[in-house]
Amino acid sequence: MLDSNKAIVRTFIAALGRGDADTLAKVMDPDIQAVCTGNHVLSGTRGFAEVCGAAGMLGMMTKNGIEFTILNLTAEDDRVACEAAGKSVLATGQEYNNQYHFLFFLRDGKIVRMMEYMDSLLVETLLGPLVRAAAA
């Protein structure tokens, strides 16, 4: 079970980086709660449709999605902790390279809850203007 949970998380991280909402939908429970911590434009709790939509927005805000490199992946019981580095080039041409920690909770082969931690200042400074422009 632990190896299959790790595989699900690897699939999620790769699909998120590509902006692949279809693959994300296959590994998430319809009642998922995805929590992005911090005080920035992406902070908050999102459900299934919002996570899929955020993946599509990622594709519009970047030239190449986010190339995630998983640095550490640890599984225990129903949880998988993932430390990752992300590299990207925004549509503005600026580099967006952030560090992430994700904590996933799985049930019956699906992600039911996810906690995401990252550099809030970097998100607000570089992604904030793009997200606000897309919402306007």
Ramachandran bin of 110, using left for φ above 0, alpha for ψ from -120 to 50, beta for the remaining angles: beta
pTM value is: 0.94
How far is residue 12's CA from residue 112's CA, in Å, rounded to a whole number? 12
- Nearest residue to 29 (alpha-carbon basis) of 10, 7, 47: 47
Half-sphere exposure of 14 (CA within 13 A, CB side): 9
The predicted pLDDT at position 57 comes to 83
Cβ 104 vs Cβ 113: under 8 Å: yes
Domains of the chain: 2-128 (3.10.450.50)
Cα 57 to Cα 22, 51, 73: the distances in Å are: 14, 10, 26
The predicted pLDDT at position 56 comes to 81
Find the distance separating the first CA and the last CA of the chain, reported in whole Å. Answer: 44
For 117, residues 6+ apart whose C-beta sits below 8 A from its C-beta are: 37, 38, 100, 101, 102
Q: What is the mean pLDDT of each run of 10 residues along the chain (136 residues)?
A: 93 95 96 95 94 86 94 97 97 95 98 97 92 81
pLDDT per residue as tens digits for the range 19-48? 999 999 999 999 999 999 999 989 999 999
Half-sphere exposure of 56 (CA within 13 A, CB side): 10
| Residue indicated by tokens 């809850």 | 113
The predicted pLDDT at position 58 comes to 84
